[in-house]
Amino acid sequence: MQDGVSAVGFHQITSWLNIKKETYLKTNTKQKKCAEIM
């Protein structure tokens, strides 16, 4: 039972981290483009 719970929690954390990483990469790319224009 506990293994199933931790597996679900781990999956949620992984998904959340992937979303944070994608958001960071998108904003980072925008900042780089702005810097290149400057």
The pLDDT assigned to 19 comes to 95
Record the tokens describing residue 8, joined without a space. Answer: 């679900």
The pLDDT assigned to 36 comes to 76
Residue 1 to residue 38: CA distance in whole angstroms: 56
pTM of the model: 0.53
At residue 26, the 3 state secondary structure works out as helix
Residue 23 to residue 27: CA distance in whole angstroms: 6
Q: What is the pLDDT of residues 1-38, one digit of tens each?
A: 566 668 888 899 999 999 999 999 888 888 777 777 66
Catalogue the long-range contacts made by 11-17 (C-beta closer than 8 Å, 24 or more residues apart).
none
The pLDDT assigned to 8 comes to 85
